[in-house]
Amino acid sequence: MRKRLEDKWNAEVFQNYGMVELGNSIAGECKEKNGLHVSQLDFFIELIDPETGRNIKPGEKGEIVVTTLSRTGMPLIRYRTKDEGYIMKEKCICGLPFQRIKILGRLDDTIIIGSGDKLHPSIIENNLFSIPYINDFRMKIDKKNNKDRFNIIVETTNNDKINHEEILKHIIEIPEIYNGIYSSKTISMPSVEFVKPNSLKKYGNKIGNRIIDNRKT
Ligand SMILES: [Zn+2]
């Protein structure tokens, strides 16, 4: 997404993290674009295990919990964001002293695949949208012979450049999917099909809507 925006606008794109309830951006990228520096003068960030509510160590994945430090009208104390991420342990080479976080995605969007691996739809989106000719996609999941079966429906900008193997490779290299296919053998080899431009609009284009999970009864 960043590369597409930068190419289109001929401008550098920086990622920011925030939410309406907190009224502000909580963290943002520096020129290194490797994690987001937390605005620690205004926010205190903790990472917790979403199941137990206990704090977890820097470097481990957990739910991001935010406390506002400078708001007087409506302070929020230990506000649970339902976003998953981790605090980066190393100092940033840019020299800023503020801690850095990486955001992985929404906890409630997570899908369970194969032998119980958790997968964020945003990882699939990042991998597939890194292929320049992919305009949009949907991934349908169902179950056959006790295995998860993925069917990736791809809408491309230019039919001449389609490379079936390349698309498959971008899906298989996701560790959770790779493990399911080759180690636990709980996922069958994904299939890829192509559709005409604009045929995927009907599904909506919000993050999460691109994964159509038909395994649920
Ligand atoms: Zn930095």
Q: Where in the chain is the domain with CATH 3.30.300.30?
A: 110-213
CATH of domain 110-213: 3.30.300.30
Angstrom distance (rounded) from CA 16 to CA 189: 36
Give the pLDDT of residue 205.
60
- Residues lying with their CB under 5 A of ligand 1, a single-atom ion: 30, 32, 92, 94, 96
Phi-psi category of residue 114: left, alpha or beta, with phi > 0 → left and psi -120 to 50 → alpha: left
Maximum CA extent, the chain: 58
Give the pLDDT of residue 217.
54
pLDDT of 215 > 80? The answer is: yes
> 103: CA distance to ligand 1 center in Å?
15
pLDDT tens digits, one per residue of 175-193: 999 999 999 999 999 999 9
**Sequence letter at residue 208:** G
Strand 191-195 versus strand 147-156 pairing type: parallel
Q: CB–CB of 213/181 below 8 Å?
A: no
Question: Vertex 162, ends 189 and 179: CA angle to 5°?
Answer: 25
For the chain, percent of residues with pLDDT exceeding 90 = 65
> 16: CA distance to ligand 1 center in Å?
13
* 51-60, 123-132, 193-202: the lowest-pLDDT one: 193-202
Which residue has better confidence, 112 or 196? 112
* Helix (H), strand (E) at residue 9: helix 2-9
> 107: CA distance to ligand 1 center in Å?
26
> 58: CA distance to ligand 1 center in Å?
17
pLDDT of 139 > 80? The answer is: yes
pLDDT band at 64 (very low <50, low <70, confident <90, very high): very high
**Sequence letter at residue 24:** N
pLDDT band at 115 (very low <50, low <70, confident <90, very high): very high
Whole-angstrom CA distances from 47 to 55, 60, 80, 98, 171 are 6, 8, 10, 16, 29
11 Cβ neighbours under 8 A, 6+ residues apart: 5
pLDDT of 1 > 90? The answer is: no
> 99: CA distance to ligand 1 center in Å?
9
Q: Where in the chain is the domain with CATH 2.30.38.10?
A: 2-106
Angstrom distance (rounded) from CA 24 to CA 38: 12
pLDDT tens digits, one per residue of 12-52: 999 999 998 887 799 999 999 999 999 999 999 999 999 99
> 206: CA distance to ligand 1 center in Å?
30
pTM comes to: 0.73
Angstrom distance (rounded) from CA 37 to CA 25: 11
The per-residue pLDDT of the chain, averaged, comes to 90
> 184: CA distance to ligand 1 center in Å?
39
> 59: CA distance to ligand 1 center in Å?
17
Q: CB–CB of 66/45 below 8 Å?
A: yes
Q: CB–CB of 65/45 below 8 Å?
A: yes
Per CATH, which fold does 2-106 belong to? Luciferase; domain 3 (2.30.38)
